[in-house]
Structure 1
Amino acid sequence: MKKFDYVIVGGGLFGGVMAWYARKNGKTCLIVEKRKQLGGNIYCEDIEGIPVHRYGAHIFHTSDKNVWQFVNGLVEFNRYTNCPVANYHGEMYNMPFNMNTFSKMWGISTPEEARAKIEEQRAGIFGQPANLEEQAISLVGTDIYEKLIKGYTEKQWGRACKELPSFIIKRLPVRYTYDNNYFNDRYQGIPIGGYNGITEKLFEGCEVMLETDYLADKKTFDAMGDRIIYTGTIDAYFNYRYGKLEYRSLRFEDDIFDVDNYQGVAVVNHTAREVPYTRTIEHKHFNCTVPYSEIPKTVVTREYSVAWEEGMEPYYPVNDEKNQELYQKYAELGAGEKNVMFGGRLAEYKYYDMDKVIESAMKKAEAEFGSLA
């Protein structure tokens, strides 16, 4: 039986960064991946010459200079800036919520007027917001909540906003300037040609087994590595000893149109509850280095949020109190596992932006191998 320094379970970003640093330190790695390809959720599929983000829109953004330099050392990034819009029954509003949004919603023009309007509409919220609905209204008032947050959020999570914890909405940017850049981070962009180039660099020199379930033959794979890096669902690793953690999943449907520009922007949030999908993504807008006229067709993906069931891809952890308590039990089990490192959004049951996954992996790589310089 061939022996490796590391058996890395999962071919996503966390596993890739760990593999990259392991190889840099002269270690051998076996990658065990259930999907047909490496890359995790950043995998891109070429359709009509357009890199399609197969598992949802991924815009790289970070304020961490080390992370930005790391990814730019792998591939070249474009200057893409995320400026999504929201569609409510044909009314189009800029995201994140900013002066353009407020002006369109209320016919006002100054930050003072916007603040006064929001203050008026949140007058019924007292003390600490008890749920997502109260948190949203306290941030942006009732009009924006009703039109641009409520329906979208309830589709995304499959439950009423009053039943969701307030912290989910706290990461939503709100600003009193005419600035449509969704992110506040210092650095932002998308790899030219899509994310597959990053994946290729991260796993270069590794032995790879695709369409392979590590847990189906765990003893064999454990015997093949001196150390295991596990990035799958942590409850599955322990055979659901305390029960199953809950997730939300996504379903995607593609349309190919014989036009060079279908919706005028990469991401449109469809906020009306009656519209069954949450977003439409026109992928060619991500690849802003290529003129539209050079690619006569366009690919638009409708994104549906669905309840997760066994066999589906788990995307978003349901971070309510019940699931967090359950995760803590599994985390304690994980801490007692010899020669196993748990990392990434599934193993840590955590919503991670891409830069935070890389940052986490870099810290663990530094602890594992010493200085990253």
Structure 2
Amino acid sequence: MFDWLIVGAGFAGSVLAERLARGSGKRVLLLDKRRHIGGNAYDHYDDEGLLVHAYGPHVFHTNSKEVFDYLSQFTAWRPYQHRVLASVDGQLVPIPINLDTINYLYNLRLTSLELEAFFAERAERIAHARTSEDVIVGKIGRELYEKFFRNYARKQWGLDPSELDASVTTHIPVRTSRDDRYFTDTYQAMPLRGYTRMFERMLDHPNIKVMLGVDFREVERSIPHDQVIYTGSIDAYFDHRYGPLPYRSLEFRFETKNAPIFQPAPVVNHPNEHPYTRVTECKYLTGQEHPKTTLVYEYPRAEGEPYYPIPRPENVVLYRKYEALAAATPGVHFIGRLATYRYYNMDQVVAQALKLYAKLTGLPRKQTTLAAAA
């Protein structure tokens, strides 16, 4: 008899398994249909002995001390600040757009104050930004929108930015400084031995049993349990009663180069004619020393594993129907990206899991994150 059956061994499921087992002494069965733990953050050593991110780059960053301190119980960290270049007009320039981006692209020598005027002159007046296109052209104008965003979004989403909700691009920064960091969070680091090792330590507890390569539906009635935490697709849980929720998927192609380093940045975005959206060189992220290097090419797909909820108003309406079903389902708790049909960063999922644990136990938040908690 298990107290909890948890579906999905990614961040949401693993954090809750660890907390319920180690923090509350509960017996937990953790399932995943994949044959590994870690969800999309799973990393492993390839045939050349290179540590690679199996599902594209996962760069940890957070402003939450609670989240960082919690994960620090299971890993040491390697300081890392992420940088990205974009291939535009035959040049590799910093993204997010900053002072150097504009000066390189247009062969100018603007100052930060002059760049503010440069953007203001080109920005279009948008009274109510409803779409992603509205957000970008309202910030920096149509020419830069066309160069950096339109085709990238078309590839990523299979839709023109004029068809996408404004929320897709409202968080994209545009800087007038020379700061070329992709993130500006307080805590920016990578697990020293990789994500999978961190998950292994998190789940190393006698009260946690992990079953991999198992479909939840095949075992839910045969294994006695009290309550369920579900981190999979919410529409799949309800057998697509109202129809499938739309997602975008990704296909990853790995290529090993016989060189220590191949590209000049950890990630190069391709808002151009190439069918892939970005190329990641894993060694930048892992810090591994090796005579060879592996690149990961990302190809957006309409079919396949669900990765990105498609942010359109009609999809939110459909999700609300499933959300109502979830609220009316006793003994099942829905959490994570797929179960709540929202794109979360890794730290946001951890915070969401810790919040649910506090709710389930009635403990104050500050007492819910220590591995040694009674």
Is the structural similarity TM-score above 0.5?
yes
SS at match of 1:268: strand
In the alignment, the residues of structure 2 paired with residue 366 and residue 171 of structure 1 have an alpha-carbon distance, to the nearest angstrom, of: 29
SS at match of 1:7: strand
1:265-304 mapped onto 2 (5 Å cutoff) = 265-272=265-272, 274-288=273-287, 290=288, 294-304=289-299
Q: CA deviation at 1:90?
A: 2.7
Q: Would the aligned equivalents of 2:126 and 2:138 in 1 still touch at CA under 8 Å?
A: no
Q: Would the aligned equivalents of 2:75 and 2:193 in 1 still touch at CA under 8 Å?
A: no
Q: Would the aligned equivalents of 1:252 and 1:301 in 2 still touch at CA under 8 Å?
A: yes
Specify the alignment match of 1:10 in structure 2: 8
Specify the alignment match of 2:166 in structure 1: 166
How many pairs were matched up?
360
Post-superposition CA distance 1:114-134 (Å, at most 9, x none): 1222112123x3312232112
Specify the alignment match of 1:337 in structure 2: 329
Task: In structure 1, list runs of 5 or more residues that go unmatched.
Answer: none
1:47-126 mapped onto 2 (5 Å cutoff) = 47=46, 48-106=48-106, 107-123=108-124, 125-126=125-126
Letter in 2 for 1:303: E
Q: Would the aligned equivalents of 1:173 and 1:183 in 2 still touch at CA under 8 Å?
A: no
Q: Indicate which of 213, 216, 224 corresponds to 1:214.
A: 216
In the alignment, the residues of structure 2 paired with residue 117 and residue 283 of structure 1 have an alpha-carbon distance, to the nearest angstrom, of: 36
SS at match of 2:29: strand
Specify the alignment match of 2:338 in structure 1: 346
Change (3 A) 1:21 1:347: same
Q: CA deviation at 1:163?
A: 1.1
In the alignment, the residues of structure 1 paired with residue 286 and residue 265 of structure 2 have an alpha-carbon distance, to the nearest angstrom, of: 12
Letter in 2 for 1:181: R
Letter in 1 for 2:256: I
Specify the alignment match of 1:360 in structure 2: 352
Specify the alignment match of 2:18 in structure 1: 20
In the alignment, the residues of structure 2 paired with residue 245 and residue 279 of structure 1 have an alpha-carbon distance, to the nearest angstrom, of: 25
In the alignment, the residues of structure 2 paired with residue 349 and residue 126 of structure 1 have an alpha-carbon distance, to the nearest angstrom, of: 28
Letter in 1 for 2:16: M
Q: Would the aligned equivalents of 1:249 and 1:315 in 2 still touch at CA under 8 Å?
A: yes
Q: Would the aligned equivalents of 1:51 and 1:193 in 2 still touch at CA under 8 Å?
A: no
SS at match of 1:52: strand
Q: Would the aligned equivalents of 1:155 and 1:278 in 2 still touch at CA under 8 Å?
A: yes
Q: Would the aligned equivalents of 1:14 and 1:344 in 2 still touch at CA under 8 Å?
A: yes
Letter in 2 for 1:258: N
The root-mean-square deviation of aligned C-alpha atoms, in Å, is 1.3
Post-superposition CA distance 1:89-142 (Å, at most 9, x none): 53111011111112222313212221222112123x331223211211112222
1:305 and 2:307 aligned: no
SS at match of 2:73: helix
Specify the alignment match of 1:318 in structure 2: 310
In the alignment, the residues of structure 2 paired with residue 339 and residue 126 of structure 1 have an alpha-carbon distance, to the nearest angstrom, of: 46
Q: Would the aligned equivalents of 2:95 and 2:182 in 1 still touch at CA under 8 Å?
A: yes
Q: CA deviation at 1:217?
A: 4.3
In the alignment, the residues of structure 2 paired with residue 140 and residue 193 of structure 1 have an alpha-carbon distance, to the nearest angstrom, of: 40
Q: CA deviation at 1:218?
A: 3.4
In the alignment, the residues of structure 2 paired with residue 331 and residue 242 of structure 1 have an alpha-carbon distance, to the nearest angstrom, of: 12
- Using the size of structure 2 for normalisation, the TM-score is 0.93
Change (3 A) 1:89 1:255: farther
Post-superposition CA distance 1:301-320 (Å, at most 9, x none): 11011113xxx210000121
SS at match of 1:104: helix
Q: CA deviation at 1:225?
A: 1.1
Q: CA deviation at 1:264?
A: 2.1
SS at match of 2:294: strand
Q: CA deviation at 1:279?
A: 0.5
Letter in 2 for 1:177: S
Specify the alignment match of 1:148 in structure 2: 148
